[in-house]
Amino acid sequence: MDLMEAIRDRHSVRQYEKRSIEPDVKKELEDYIAACNAEGGMHIQLVTDEPKAFDSMLAHYGQFSGVTNYLAVVGPKGAGLEEKCGYYGEKVVLKAQQLGLNTCWVAGTYKKIPSAFTVEEGEKFVLVIAIGYGVHQGKQHQSKTFDDVTKLSGEAPEWFKQGVEAALLAPTAINQQKFTFSFEEKNEGNKVLAKAGLGFNSKIDLGIVKYHFEIGAGKENFVWE
């Protein structure tokens, strides 16, 4: 499965089999997390066989069940942390999809278990991502259109359209999709501006959709403005 296939197949899943992640899958995932952390200066951690975070009224309210594995998304305090959490968290999410796992971004409906992961001095814990073997594969939610999330001056190239298509398949908080991609044909033809709108966790969402856009558009075809 390539990354575009992972994007199309990935859907948020809230119900999981009470099953440990297979050792070889866990090893490959942890190696990938380590690479993402090294690249982005992050401290994302895989927590396994830990049932307490999703054994609460909040989790039941969020309709979660069977969750015993999750990613603790931790990074350095400062400007840009939320966007980085989205970007690198989604890199891990799509890798998990390629490895046969299901995921769900979780902003509030869980209980924080400080003993399950590490937050070093100067770092901040932001949120978790449920991960494991889903009872089902989830389903696609209604999406905004290309015109809803773009601002164009001139004709958009095909790579831009493909980038936006991939971004529209990204998970966002409560499916709000509050982001905009702007393109000006006269502006050297390859600069793209991505902006977060006003909304719950919209800066995290921005990081997620920017990673999706890079996959769809091809990083070799443009630069971020």
Q: Give 22-44 pLDDT, tens digit per residue.
A: 999 999 999 999 999 999 999 99
Mean pLDDT in residue range 205-209:
98
Lowest-confidence range among 5-14, 54-63, 152-161, 173-182?
A: 54-63
- Residue entry with tokens 């509050």: 178
CATH of the domain spanning 3-132:
3.40.109.10
Q: Are strands 123-132 and 150-153 parallel, antiparallel or unpaired?
A: unpaired
- In CATH terms, is domain 147-224 a member of 3.40.109? yes
Q: Are 138 and 11 in contact (CB under 8 A)?
A: yes
Where residue 142 falls among pLDDT bands split at 50, 70, 90? confident
Tell me where in the chain the CATH 3.40.109.10 domain(s) lie. Answer: 3-132
Q: Give the Å distances, CA to CA, from 144 to 62, 133, 141, 167, 179.
A: 24, 29, 10, 10, 11
Instruction: Round to whole Å and give the CA distance between 158 and 76.
Output: 36
Mean pLDDT in residue range 85-113:
96
pLDDT, residue 17, reads 96
Q: Are 46 and 38 in contact (CB under 8 A)?
A: no
Helix axes 81-98, 202-217, angle to 10 degrees: 50
Per-residue model confidence as pLDDT tens digits over 143-195: 999 999 999 988 899 999 999 999 999 999 989 999 999 998 776 668 999 99
Instruction: Round to whole Å and give the CA distance between 156 and 189.
Output: 9
Mean pLDDT in residue range 188-211:
93
**What does pTM read for this prediction?**
0.95
Instruction: Round to whole Å and give the CA distance between 222 and 225.
Output: 9
47 DSSP β-pair partners: 70
Residue 60 in this model has a pLDDT that exceeds 90: no
